[in-house]
Amino acid sequence: MNPTTLLSKPAAQYRLLLLAAILQLAVPMIASAATENINGLYFKADDATGQIEELGHSLVTPDSSFLINSNSQPNGLKVTWSTCDTGVTDTADRKSVCLNASVENVSGSDIGPVYFPDLQGMQPISGDQTELRTALGVINPFAGAPFSQVYGGTDIYERYALRWIDFGGYQGGISIYQKKWGDEDMFNGSPILHAPLVVSRAAGQNVVRIAWQNNITLKPGEKWQSDDFVFTFHRGGWAKGIEPFAQFVRKMQVGALGRQTPVPSHVVHGLGFQTVWMVEGLESSWAPKPNFTFSDIGRIAQDAKANGLDELVLFGSNIVGHLPIVLDPRAGTEAQFLAGVQKARSIGVNVSAFASFSLDIGTPCTESACVPATPPPVPGARPPVSAAAPYAYDPTSASTFWTYHSELLPAMGSPLIISETYPTSQSPVLFEDQFPNRTAIINSMLTWANKGAPSFTMDEFQDAGFMSGGLVSTMQQLRNKKPVPNYAQATISGEPVMNLERAAAVLDYTWAWNDYIEAGPFLNAVRYPRINADVSSPRVAKMAFIDGLYMNVMLSKPNKSNGSALVSENPVMSKTLKQLSSLHKEFDDYFSNGTFIGESVLSEPVTPFIRTSKTSWIGGSIFDLGPFEYQKVFIKAYQLQTGSVKKLLIFVLNNDTVARSVTFKSELGLWIKPSAGASYTFTSYDESGTVSNSCTMTKGANNIWIGTTKTLAPLQMAICEVETQ
């Protein structure tokens, strides 16, 4: 089934074609000499007739309710499907259908799992460059070897982090989303964040299966009801197909799932933040050699501000997992910390301390405080000599991943964020998720806020399962108290490792071990928290800047850990960040008020780009993600409308190692259509933001416009602005 052909079909017919593709029931294999062996019973549609066909059996009439009977399943399964409200209005460029299904087990055997929707026989739209795009990643399912992959989703390190996908290419496709936000699906009676997405291509076949695996078991007589799913057939790239989902998200982000306080303005309009690693985790407590002390905060902030950054995260500033929140004495005193925070604020840099706790530290807390599990280290106190066996380094052990120190030989730890970013680091400890310590967390954070340090970055921000809504509502309670006059600029950031949908209600930006990630759909539909990208090279910095990712600048000195260097100690990155900061200010209206449409602005690829990776995991601190894959020509765009004025801003980055001129094609009318009598005007800028002839656009055939840049050096940008009424 090629989804782009369905835009020309009448609504009733494409509903029928959809129905036929989206339901599969796995039934027990029943084998006998007189019956047929079946371990999967599913339906497909005949594109010519639109009839629903039960594979291996006679045609089934397309009624809204029907009973499946066959020799292999004598008692049958009753399947009822119905349409539902999409909540959106169709346009000439996209049509949407909402469907759900219910299943009643009228057989004598257990049934499960249920796959719904189940798209089988999905054909390539753009050859092996056909894309399956999720909130935080893209795969090319028709390229490479046959595969089968489960995408678990839910957090900042998984491709399927939101319940939305798009299958297609630059000229059209199908977007699908589950009409659910914040709430959890069920997995064998227990809550999970999303029903897993199963994607596969069998050997010898050039079709892909995309199925939502509902891991439930229906006993005889039991019923199961699916959620509503919206299917949008669209022209153009993924940004056209995501429009209904973006409208749905805006409707859902209200009340407990909506932001109750605005994102601080410096995060909305800012380029990014810097992270410094104050004290390495294995550093001595009796003779510490920290990377930075609290007395250094002022000069770090001064350096960050000079390089276009106005947020500073102090990784390792606190003792991990303790309530009340305790500073790490190896980095200095409370007085030095508070003085540094105040100095940074006077410079125009907000400082966020690093808090690492879940809702349970292991011991129930009083109304005001919790007792730390172990006392914090005291500088100058030599630890007692231990008779324990010496530490044995095992590179295959998971525990080895948390044992990094730059002075160890070998340094241990694991490679972090391979590609062009930093090489090694350490992740903090994870504690169990319980719920008794909400009051203690609020009181401890309020205590620091009233002292003048109201911003926190949280490791392992978890809000899921039996503590659903707990951490989000805790942070909402904290923010609603507004304890200090400058609290409007206080930030709450973190590493959302469970429910990114709920975390969006309180986090201003993410702090995660991610390199550049293709987060365009999240940036388009959800926007906040701003998704971070850890950058330490001009290439990653420019890609992150163009996409509107919130840069986490975490630089290192030679043979030292990430976060051990000032920006000014890396002249190449310093120059790059200053340039990008200036451009970000010049085009801030697009970044903060526009809509990111990414490469969807193109009507065809500029250069071939096929991703080899199909893993579910896209980040994190302990996994080798393989080679850094990126386009040789990197083109992304933003939409912006102010009154009657409609604009596009198109960035073109020569991401290759050789100089080149770039030619690209775009159907501008898909994104900004001139009113009657109006026309397009074009302005181009070089990468300093100066008006130039770096990009020209001419009209071609079939409403396609052709853009051409001057010769661009490696990693040089051209910027094209299009405007109409």
Token pair for 578: 């200053």
CA dist 584 → 272, 310, 541, 547, 550 (Å): 10, 13, 12, 11, 11
- Is-above-0.75 flag for pTM? yes
Of residues 28 and 29, more confidence is placed in 28
Poorest-confidence range of 11-20, 122-131, 234-243, 347-356? Answer: 11-20
Query: What three-state secondary structure class fits 581?
Result: helix
- Which is more confident, 399 or 453? 453
**Residue 233, pLDDT above cutoff 90:** no
- DSSP-derived letter for residue 334 is H
Q: What is the DSSP string of 234-280?
A: EESSHHHHTHHHHHHHHHHSSGGGS-SSPPPHHHHS--EEEEEE-S-
pLDDT, tens only, 607-621: 999 999 999 988 765
In the predicted structure, residue 339 carries a pLDDT above the cut 90? yes
pLDDT score of 411 more than 60: no
Other beta carbons within 10 angstroms of residue 696's beta carbon come to 14
Tell whether the model's pLDDT for residue 281 goes beyond 80.
no
Q: Are 307 and 581 in contact (CB under 8 A)?
A: yes
Strand order in the sheet with 681-686: 595-596, 633-642, 645-654, 717-724, 681-686, 691-692
Which tokens belong to 101?
């299904």
**C-alpha span between 715 and 94 (Å, rounded):** 36
Q: How far apart are CA 556 and CA 275, in angstroms?
A: 11
Mean pLDDT across the chain, nearest whole number?
A: 79
Give the amino acid at 21.
A
CB 294 within 8 A of CB 332: yes
| Three-class DSSP labels, 372-441 | CCCCCCCCCCCCCCCCCCCCCCCCCCHHHHHCCCCCCCCCCCCECCCCCCCCECCCCCCCCCCCCCHHHH
What is the pLDDT confidence band of residue 182, given thresholds at 50, 70 and 90? confident
Q: What is the pLDDT of residue 589?
A: 98
> Mean pLDDT, to the nearest integer, of 417-431?
30
Q: Where is average pLDDT lowest: 368-377, 527-536, 548-557?
A: 368-377
State how far Cα 384 lies from the chain centre: 45
Q: Is residue 346 classed exposed, middle or buried when 0-12, 13-18 and 19+ CB atoms within 10 A define those classes?
A: exposed
pLDDT of residue 402: 53
- Pairing mode of beta strands 164-168, 131-134: antiparallel
Q: Please, are residues 374 and 384 in contact by the beta-carbon 8 Å criterion?
A: no
Cis? peptide before 113, omega within 30° of 0: yes
Q: Taking a C-beta distance cutoff of 8 angstroms, is the pair 264, 489 a contact?
A: yes
Q: Which amino acid is at 266?
A: H
Query: 33: which DSSP letter?
Result: T
694 vs 709: CA distance, rounded Å: 5
* pLDDT at residue 107, rounded to an integer: 78
The predicted-structure confidence for 128-180, as pLDDT tens digits, reads as follows 999 999 999 999 999 999 999 999 877 899 999 999 999 999 988 899 999 99
- The residue-averaged pLDDT of 72-92 equals 72
Answer yes or no: is pLDDT of 533 > 80: yes
Place of tokens 């989703």: 153
In the structure, what pLDDT confidence band is assigned to residue 668 with cuts at 50, 70 and 90? very high
Q: How many other CB atoms are found less than 10 A from the CB of residue 329? A: 18
Q: Are 517 and 543 in contact (CB under 8 A)?
A: no
Who's near 3: CB < 8 A, 6+ residues apart? 122, 125, 167, 168, 172, 173, 174, 233
Q: What is the band of 287 on the pLDDT scale with cuts at 50, 70, 90?
A: confident
State residue 356's pLDDT score. 76
Distances (CA, A) of 358 to 257, 445, 724: 20, 13, 50
Angle of helix 470-481 relative to helix 438-451, nearest 10 degrees? 30
Of all residues in the chain, the percent with pLDDT exceeding 70 is 74
Distance CA 42, CA 547 (A): 41
CA distances from 505 to 21, 249, 464 (A): 35, 12, 14
